[in-house]
Amino acid sequence: MTRLAVVLLLACCAMAAPAVAQADLFQPIFAVTQHPRCANCHTDTAAPLQRDFRPHQPAVQRGPEGKGVARLTCAGCHKPQNTAAAPGAPDWRMPKAGDAVFRNRPAGDLCRDLREPQRNGGLEPEALGRHFAEDPLIGWAWTPGTGRGSPALSRDHLVVAVASWLRAGAPCPD
């Protein structure tokens, strides 16, 4: 079954489910963002974390474009796919400084950041939905390689949750 068919099936099931409080629509998205596969790079620090929130080795820095600096660029170790030496996905990077920070943030604050293009990498709602659905780096979180866990919510369920949240006007918890 194609990803689109699965997402449409899940969306139909979600529409048939009991009504959810508007502010609760963000909770499944928040749960995924708090997982190390996401929060390790969405930090307020100049360096990413690795594994389960451990300092990154070597001690790389974000850099102005989120891809490292000088000879310690992300692409120096992180290839377009997982390798024995390092996890990988196309265009491996951290978000630019100032974009949404996931780690150690209250759900309401993160929610408000994600719906604001000035804080989410310049993404309007439709583009934000596509980002969650199509970006290979986000997809990597569910195929992270040996010894790394994935978010409990599947990517297909996350895509449906994001679409539902956006369709409702991106309401945020307090």
Residue type, position 27, single letter: Q
SS3 for 54?
strand
pLDDT in tens, 136-169: 999 999 999 988 999 999 999 999 999 999 999 9
Which phi and psi (to 5°) does residue 97 adopt?
-55, 135
C-beta separation of 121 from 114 below 8 A: no
Evaluate whether 111 touches 120 at the Cβ level (below 8 Å).
no
Q: What is the pLDDT of residue 23?
A: 78
Rounded to two decimals, what is the model's pTM?
Answer: 0.86
Q: How confident is the model at residue 6 (pLDDT cuts 50, 70, 90)?
A: very low
66 pLDDT more than 80 = yes
Rounded-to-integer distance, Cα 13 and Cα 167, Å: 16
**Token pair of 12, please?**
């139909």
Q: Which two tokens stand for residue 81?
A: 């796919």
Contact of 137 with 4, CB cutoff 8 Å: no
Q: Are 61 and 46 in contact (CB under 8 A)?
A: yes
Q: What are phi and psi of 133, to 5 degrees?
A: -80, -30
Strand partners, 68: 73
The size of the chain, in residues, is 174
86-129 tens-digit pLDDT: 999 999 999 999 899 999 999 999 999 999 999 999 999 999 99
